[in-house]
Amino acid sequence: MTALKLGFRVCDRRHPFLWSGAGQASGRWNRTGDQPVHYLASTPTVAWAEWIRHQEITDPGDLAGVAAALWAVLIPQEWGTKELDSVAMHLDQVLDSSREAQDARLALVEHLKKKGAQGLLAPTASLHHSDKVMPAVRVSNGTEQPEQLAVPAQVILLWCEARLLPGWCCVPEGRPGAELLPLVRRGKLLNL
C-alpha cells in the first residue's frame, strides 16, 4: 500500500479550494498576475494557522462566527524531490517582508520552475514554533492521548494546474479551537 501525499487548505466555502484562473493576489511566493499558485499546508493545524493569520483573527470571540472549509488535497504520488523539494531558506528569510526578500523568494521560484519543479516546501510563517513536531492525538486504551509527531510545519506551494490536485472537503463549515490563537505568529502580513 502506498502512503498518500496530502496537503491541507482552509478557505471560504463559497469559492473553489484552488485557483484555476486570473485574479490571485500577490503573496509570499507569487506576484499578482503569475500563473495560479496553490498554497497548501503540511497539517490541518498549519492550514488553520495560515488562515487565522491571513484573516487577522486575534480574539477568541471572533471564532464563533467562523464557518470555513478544510480541504485535504492529494499531491501526485509520483512527484519526488525534483518536483517538490524543501527550500534551504532560513525562517527569517521566509518572514522578511522587504522588497529584497520578496525578490529573493520569487527568484528561487523561477529557478525551481526552470529545473522542472512543480512546487516547493517552505517553513510556515504562521506559527511561532515551526520546528519539526506538531501536536496530534492518538487513541490508547480507549482514551485520546495528546502526542507530538515529527512532522514539519510547512507551507506547500504548488504552481501546477488545479486539475492535477483532487481534494476532499473534510469539514465544510468548521472553525479552529481558540487554543491555536496564541500559537499564531503576528506581524506584517503579505496577501497569501
User: Is 191 a member of any domain?
Assistant: no
> What pLDDT digit, counting tens, does each position of 109-127 carry?
999 999 999 999 998 888 8
Could you give the CA distance from residue 170 to residue 149 in angstroms, rounded to a whole number?
21
Please give the model's pTM, rounded to 2 decimal places: 0.88
Could you give the CA distance from residue 151 to residue 75 in angstroms, rounded to a whole number?
17
Predicted confidence at residue 91, as pLDDT, reads 83
Short-list 190, 170, 178, CA closest to 49? 178
Predicted confidence at residue 76, as pLDDT, reads 93
DSSP state for residue 82 in the 8-state scheme = T
Q: Give percent of the chain above pLDDT 70.
A: 93
User: Is 192 a member of any domain?
Assistant: no
Predicted confidence at residue 121, as pLDDT, reads 93
User: Is 188 a member of any domain?
Assistant: no
Instruction: Please spell the DSSP secondary structure of 93-151, one letter per residue.
Output: HHH--SHHHHHHHHHHHHHHHHTT-SEEEEE-SSBS--SS-EEEEEEETTEEEEEEE--
The whole-number average pLDDT for the span 176-187 is: 88
CA atoms within 13 A on the CB side of 156: 26
Predicted confidence at residue 27, as pLDDT, reads 86
End-to-end distance of the chain based on CA atoms, in angstroms?
Answer: 35
Residue 1: is its pLDDT beyond 50?
no
Q: Which residues are CB-neighbours of 128 under 8 A, at least 6 positions away?
A: 183, 184, 185
Helix (H, G, I), strand (E, B), or coil: what is residue 31? coil
Residue 130: is its pLDDT beyond 60?
no
Could you give the CA distance from residue 126 to residue 5 in angstroms, rounded to a whole number?
22
The whole-number average pLDDT for the span 150-169 is: 92
Average pLDDT, the chain: 88
User: Is 146 a member of any domain?
Assistant: yes
Residue 64's domain comprises 6-183
Of the two residues 91 and 145, the one the predictor is more confident about is 145
Tell me which H or E stretch contains 11. Answer: strand 6-11
User: Is 47 a member of any domain?
Assistant: yes
Tell me how many degrees the CA angle 159-26-93 measures, rounded to the nearest 5.
Answer: 85
Number of domain units in the chain? 1
The whole-number average pLDDT for the span 91-100 is: 88
pLDDT band of 192, cuts 50, 70, 90: very low
Per-residue burial over 44-53, b if 16 or more Cβ lie within 10 Å, else e, is bbbbbbbbbb
DSSP state for residue 153 in the 8-state scheme = -
Residue 75: is its pLDDT beyond 80?
yes
